[in-house]
Chains A and B, each alone.
Chain A
Amino acid sequence: MTRRSAAAALRRRAAAATGRRAAAVALAGLLPLVAACGIQGSDVVEAGGAPTVLVAPNPESRMMLYFVGPDGRSMPVARDVGFGSSDNPFGPDYVLGSGDGHETAPPDKALLAERGAAGDKALAALLAGPNDAETAAGLTTGLPSGLAAPHVTEDKPAGTEGRRLLRARAPFPVTGLSETAVRQLVCTTVYAQDRFGLAEVVLIGPDGALPAATCDDDTD
């Protein structure tokens, strides 16, 4: 009799234990659903494209120069050159470099010469360094000061993948330039000459030529 009741008690205890285990499992299954109450933080989620803004002045009367931001990234600045003005495209603070002979160029060649001249002008402005407003915004240049502007020409045999190939002949050594400085030169040249920003640029100095580069391969 006592043995039977003991066995029954054991069975009952086992049944109760099973019940408790089942309840625990059910609660454990329910817990994560309940735990995520309220609003949680999230990771960074990319959603949609970035907006485009209008940059003044309009493309015809500006030139794009690439300087270096405080975080080491190259950053574009837009400088007003005035519509069709060739007198003082860089503002009164800047002295024009030599080598712009576009006034004597014939009219049918004027556009091409203008382009080439624009590249030269932009590079000259770049080498002159950031102006007050740009310095105030934290922009710097990676190029040494006091260098003469390179001359840009276009090679007719196109570069790789149908891109235009630009040659910038610099009167200073180029192989010792820093990566950011090269990038400043390349990007400024490209956006002065090519509206799509796809051209390849070969920097040539008295000490040799650098491999062709584009402004796209922004690695950082």
Chain B
Amino acid sequence: MRTCTAPEPAPETAGETAAGADTQAETRKRRSRRPRRRPFGLRTRLVLAFLLVAAVGCGTTAALTYRAARNAILEQAQNTALSAFREQVQGLNIALPPSADFLGDQVRRIARQGKPRTWRVYAEYGDVRVSSTDRPTSSVITPELRARAHANAESPHGSFQRVVKNGTPYLTMAVPALFHVFTAEDAARPTGLVLYAVMELDEEEANVEAMVTAARDGALPALAVALIPALIASRGVLRPVRELGIAAHNMGRGRLDTRIHAKGSDELSDLARTFNESAAELERSVAELRRAEARARRFASDVSHELRTPLAGMLAVTEVLDEDAAAGTLDSDTARAVRLVSAETGRLAVLVEDLMEISRFDARAAELHTDEVDVADCVRKTLQNRHWTDPESVVPYFTPGIRARLDPRRFDVVVANLVGNALRHGGAPVTVRVYEEGDRFVTEVADRGPGIHPDVLPHVFDRFYKADPARTRSAGSGLGLAITLENVRLHGGTVEAGNRPEGGAVFTVRMPL
């Protein structure tokens, strides 16, 4: 049934915008599916932790090894040098006081015999300063070493000290020369002669440097190698986590049959199994609920179908009885009863029709037969067909020339329901406006009645909702606004109920052009 006509080629814009929205939604979906790169995600943290542990391990091992080896190198050099020095001095045969020339010869001889390398040897006795070099004293020998060599006359010791001067490490040694006053069995007494030897530790330093290089060259590849297990471990943790995330996301989008492939016996696979069990349970519960809902809907649909056939017969009978009552062939009481029965039967028929309509919506069996129409024409025809042409009761304000693609029958139902409701529950005059708003057109039905109570507003589109519980009977089926809502939704539009500030209810329908 077409109440209004004049189809025109469909405007391209609607299709385009719809396609644009589609691609937008698609990209959003894809973006949310892809694992995001996070600067401090689990992977980065795992890898950093691995590297840190490896670095600490490598560093500690290298440092400890290095220290031990360095000390061993130094100790060996020191011990060799000191014992060799002592040995060289041991064989000396001197006069007291020693002559400088003789001492010089001896000192140069000792310097040549230095172990592990040649030394610079200095001898001091009283004011006599003799050395194997061109300078009589060394600036490397510290006052502490000098004091130690002279001190402790009862049990004199050889002593050494490492000195770093101008970045070069030196080993300085001091041995006080003792003598036996009479024979070798006597206690040795200091002669007052002290010999010093200075040896550069550059070779030892080179060895130590080589060890540092070796430790570094060993530690860096170890760190690089540590990166591999770090990546593997992070992968092992991250893959199940990502799978779980995707599965949870899918489930949130309604795909309740989502399951995770759970293998192994670690905590993550336990979590996956728990997830699978929860998903199965959820799926079962939802299926049960859906079955129950479907049963309830089918019941309503079946009932209305069953009622329709007897009602058709009853309607035919009441028509005849109505004619009789109108003709005055019945006595007045019977005529009143007949009219009552006839009216109620009519209401029952409307109710059954509405129920069947809403059942079709619930079963998603409602079809949209769209056509390109002039909206103002449609609304005008609806009002004419219902005989709402009295300007006292219905005031139309139509913007002419609005063309939209819609199902004329369903749009007719929407407008008739809203205007009928306004006339029935609100107060005349009812204003019907039709205008364009962006890519939609608006149909607005406003009355001058008392308006809708704010508590009721959220429920006006509910089925069989009674605004006033005391008023159990009303002229409508109780399904009118619910059917209106479903019809508007079918068109992809919205319907809102509200109150105007100056009083009266207003229903606003927005539908795409």
Contact = CB atoms under 8 A, between A and B. Distances in A.
Q: Do the two chains belong together in a single complex? A: yes
B395 interface: no
Nearest to B94: A53
B67 interface: yes
A53 B176 CA distance: 10
Interface residues of B, number: 74
Given A45-B160, A53-B94, A30 B128 contact: no
A52 B41 CA distance: 73
Interface in A16-63: 16, 19, 22-23, 26, 29-30, 33-34, 36-57, 59
B97 A133 contact: yes
A181 B157 CA distance: 27
A93 to B, nearest CB: 16
Interface of A: 12, 16, 19, 22-23, 26, 29-30, 33-34, 36-57, 59, 64, 69-71, 73, 75-78, 133-134, 136-139, 191, 195-197, 216, 218
A216 to B, nearest CB: 7
A9 to B, nearest CB: 11
Given A137-B97, A139-B126, 6 more contacts: A41-B164, A56-B94, A70-B126, A75-B192, A139-B97, A197-B181
Given A30-B59, A51-B86, A195 B186 contact: yes
A69 B87 CA distance: 26
B162 A52 contact: no
Nearest to B179: A55
Given A53-B90, A196-B186, A47 B67 contact: no
A78 B94 CA distance: 10
Interface of B: 40, 45, 48-49, 52, 56, 59-60, 63-64, 67, 70, 74, 78-79, 82-83, 86-87, 89-90, 92-99, 125-128, 142, 144-145, 148, 150, 153-164, 169, 175-183, 186-193, 201, 204-205, 208-209, 212
Contact of B157 (A16, A22, A48, A136): A48
Nearest to A23: B52
A127 B98 CA distance: 21
B52 A48 contact: no
B191 A53 contact: yes
Contact of A53 (B154, B179, B186): B179
Nearest to A12: B40
23 contacts: A19-B48, A33-B64, A34-B59, A34-B63, A39-B164, A43-B161, A44-B159, A47-B82, A50-B190, A51-B90, A51-B92, A55-B191, A56-B94, A57-B95, A59-B183, A64-B181, A69-B192, A76-B189, A78-B96, A133-B97, A136-B97, A136-B127, A196-B187
Given A38-B208, A39-B204, A30 B177 contact: no
Contact of B70 (A34, A39, A191, A195): A39
A47 B164 contact: no
A56 B45 CA distance: 79
A30 B60 contact: yes
Tell me which of A40, A42, A51 has the highest count of chain B C-beta atoms within 10 A of its own C-beta: A51
B60 A52 contact: no
Contacts of B60: 30, 33
Given A39-B70, A51-B177, A54-B179, A218 B93 contact: no
Contacts of B155: 49
Contacts of A78: 95-96
Contacts of A26: 52, 56
B489 to A, nearest CB: 28
A12 to B, nearest CB: 7
B175 A218 contact: no
Contact of A46 (B67, B83, B158, B208): B158
Contacts of A33: 59-60, 63-64, 67
Contacts of A47: 78-79, 82, 157-160
Contacts of B189: 76, 197
Given A44-B148, A51-B177, A55-B96, A70 B159 contact: no
A184 B119 CA distance: 36
Contacts of B180: 52, 59
A61 to B, nearest CB: 12
Given A38-B205, A138-B126, A195 B94 contact: no
Nearest to A22: B52
B95 A56 contact: yes
B164 A216 contact: no
Nearest to A54: B93
Nearest to B61: A33
Given A16-B40, A33-B63, A76-B192, A55 B164 contact: no
Contacts of A40: 162, 164, 169
Given A39-B162, A138-B128, A216-B154, A52 B182 contact: no
